[in-house]
Structure 1
Amino acid sequence: MTFTIKTEAAHGAYIHRTEGAIRIASRVIQRLLALETMGSPDMPPSIRAQLQRRDVRSRIDEVMGSGAAASMLHPTVNIGTINGGVKVNMIPSTCVFEADIRLPIGLSAETVVVKILAMLQDVPEASFEVQQAASNPANSSAPDHHLVGVIRKNAELVRGKGGAPLAIPSLGATDCKFWRYAGVPAYSFGVSPETMAAVDERVSVKEFVDLVKIQALAAGDYLMGSRDAT
């Protein structure tokens, strides 16, 4: 979302004339952070039950960092960019900032937009625009779907006992969303994210080869209608 604050400009000492766009923006940002207290009343029961499991929450925090499991139950607000002002001795007339607001499964964007409109009722200087092209509704597939069992069975076959992955939600988006929007269950199963988006991003050759084997075996079982996965 892109927020724009427009107000009167003035000399830096004339704070009696205008609050200034950046100070108004800071108030708006503080209000937006309150969105993180919202819950997700319409989260599917199977997903909520999965997120309440101790082993699932522990694995989420292990993979994505401590606190990640808790973040999946409420919106997250990141102020990614902010621009305003011309000179240090001038009260700015304009400030523009972008907020990346991620929603938990079961909470609609429409509900959050209504909440934001209420927050801004007494801030006439503020307006916002939703970046529709980047607005992807939170989505999920059932954690107990047959395909999950097929993947787990073949992962243990390739990796050995204890090598089956645990089905967990993700904070980030994947291309699974396009399948889910079309009503097709989809799951992401890949290499370890330990070095993802970091300096010297890498993965071991063995892990990659094992992954190819697991996905090929799982695809074969699923397409041939194997029902012996647990």
Structure 2
Amino acid sequence: MRGDKIYGLGATDCKGNLASAMEAIHSLVEEGVELDYSLVLAATADEESGSSLGLIPLLERSILKVDAAVVLDADDFEIVITQKGLMHLKVSIKGKKAHGAYPWLGVNAIDMAARIIVDLKDQKTNYTKNGYLREPTLNVGTIKGGDKVNVVSDWCEFELDFRFLPGTSHARILRNLKRTISRYTHNFKIDIQGIQDPYYISPKHPLVKNLVSAMHSAGVKSAISGSEGATVITFFKARNIPAVATGFGNEGSAHVADEYARISNLYKGAKALAKFLQDYKFSSTG
């Protein structure tokens, strides 16, 4: 610790949030507060890698059975009501080998991949605008291919990261990808690595309204926002469980050297969370 900062890997994402949650629950127990509902604290693993070893099996096997969820995976007390969907995939292109001195005798898979990527990047996407999120994005994360500098490459693989808005389906993106690749080659394969649907919950939903009220009571200025990245709220959506995300970390500190969280924010977060848990009524959801 140094001053108001506590340093360490995961301090902001998301050990600090977990500490605040534990402190909030501990304070309610100490004060003898009885909630109108059963409270579950789930400290799940594997969120950074898709949650296949964390939240997903807990929900699929009905080990975790809840009627609403607050996900602590955000910074600076923001209240996340919407987020982009994501689709990660790998495209494999096959060509034909030839001597590098006679490229016309082969089919260069790297050349085809390059043209496909440029085509995808140049496309204008139709989408429904969202006041909390930026436009859809496509990132080429990795690319590799070929065996030797003087050989026409007969293979190339590249990985794509699509981020898309509520109102757009991953199926539509996949259809367009296949159509685009087919303009250059029919000898290709697509391997889906991960899909998360986009998410939206109304700012008028009791989860959101009660969080805003609790933050205000704790002397915290919070903002309703959207998330460009993915949190686990979409896995609750798949089971028709309303969810919202918030958190008390420090923006820009996650996944970097000297990651830190502000101790004062973790304290305020615990205070706000305790207030929210104490005041929330499921009857208010209708």
3-state DSSP class of the match of 1:70? Answer: coil
**1:19–1:224 CA distance, 2 compared to 1 (3 A):** closer
Q: Which runs of 5+ in 1 are unaligned?
A: 57-68
TM-score when normalising by structure 1? 0.77
The equivalent of 1:70 in structure 2 is: 134
Match of 1:173 in 2: 230
Structure 1 residues 91, 157: CA separation in 2 closer, same or farther (over 3 Å shift)? same
- 1:59 match: none
Unmatched 5+ residue regions in structure 2?
1-88
Separation in 2, partners of 1:130, 1:140: 27
In structure 2, the partner of 1:65 is none
Give the CA deviation at 1:193. 2.3
Amino acid at match of 2:125: M
3-state SS of 1:99 partner: strand
Structural RMSD (CA)? 2.1
Q: Which amino acid letter does the alignment assign opposite residue 204 of structure 2?
A: D
* TM-score of the aligned structures, taking structure 2 as reference length: 0.63
Which residue in the other structure is 2:264 paired with?
206
Name the one with the larger helix percent.
1
Q: After TM superposition, where is structure 1 displaced by more than 3 Å over at least 4 residues in a row? A: 223-227
User: Any conservation in 2 of the 1:21–1:95 contact (CA below 8 Å)?
Assistant: yes
- Compared with structure 1, are the counterparts of its residues 207 and 225 closer, same or farther at alpha carbon in structure 2 (3 Å cutoff)? farther
CA contact (8 A) 1:143 1:168 kept: no
Whole-Å separation in 1 of the counterparts to 2:273 and 2:188: 47
Q: How many pairs are equivalent?
A: 196
Change (3 A) 1:225 1:211: farther
Letter in 2 for 1:179: F
The answer to whether structure 1 residue 28 and structure 2 residue 120 are counterparts is: no
Deviation at 1:34, TM superposition (A): 3.6
Q: Deviations over 1:173-218 (max 9, x none)?
A: 1111122221122111102323112111110111111111111211
C-alpha spacing 1:126/1:198, structure 2 compared with 1 (3 Å): farther
Identity of aligned residues (%): 26
The higher relative CO (CA closer than 8 Å, separation ≥ 6) is in 2
Deviation at 1:164, TM superposition (A): 3.0
Moved more, 215-224 or 97-106: 215-224
- In structure 1, C-alpha distance between the alignment counterparts of 2:244 and 2:225, rounded to whole Å: 10
Q: In structure 1, what is the Cα distance between the partners aligned to 2:108 and 2:214?
A: 60
3-state SS of 1:131 partner = strand
